[in-house]
Amino acid sequence: MSPAGGGTGIYLSHGCAEGWYHVNSDWVALEPVDAGHRPTPPGEFSHTVLISNLANRVQPFLRYDLGDSVLLRPDPCPCGNPLPAIRVRGRAGDVLTFPTSSGGHVSLSPLAFGTLFDHTPGIELFQIEQTAPTALRVRILPAAGADPDRAWRTVLQELTRLLAGNGLGHVIVQRAEEPPRQTPGGKYRTVIPLA
């Protein structure tokens, strides 16, 4: 999850051996909130989460509603990392689950992908569709005047890094020729799980 600019590889959060995601709070402010956008206490799942990018000067965003439910750990994580730790419930229908080489599974919520694209120069819109248990198809809409191939190379590099960091280096990432698409109801989904 990368909110920083220019393909620096700085992620919104990273997983630990204890199963928590540690928020890079020097790059992003993360606010778990209830349905009225009031703070949710640590130890309780939020209705949604708001993020503010503290690093991107080109395209900053403040209190962006990700729509994911998260739980902020109320005590220090046993792994020893002092950064705030969260558990992501996500929107159940939008979580991507991948098999691991050891026979287990790793699930990634839209939060894991959302800010990865927000900092990528030349990307107006994106959409990730899981087409097989270990395959992703990525649709991008380049920004006006952007070099689509250069934007794609950055996207591929960051997405590959995110997957590898979660033990999913075996997942195949394919570039789609078509732009992101809307659902029949007109809704735009950034993440589409395997049917």
pTM: 0.58
Coil, strand, or helix at residue 59?
Answer: coil
Strand arrangement, sheet containing 172-175: 172-175, 135-142, 123-132, 191-192
Specify the range with the lowest mean pLDDT, choosing from 93-102, 165-174, 175-184. Answer: 93-102
Distance CA 157, CA 122 (A): 15
The predicted model gives 7-18 an average pLDDT of: 62
Helices 110-118 and 148-165 pack at an angle, to 10 degrees, of: 150
Give the per-residue pLDDT at 131. 96
Return the bridge partners of 140, or none. 126
Specify the range with the lowest mean pLDDT, choosing from 84-88, 144-148, 154-158, 179-183. Answer: 179-183
First-last CA distance in the chain: 24
The predicted model gives 41-55 an average pLDDT of: 86
Distance CA 85, CA 72 (A): 6
- What sign does the dihedral 179-96-113-156 (CA atoms) show? negative
Which amino acid is residue 55, in one-letter code? A
Beta 135-142 vs 172-175: how paired, if at all? parallel
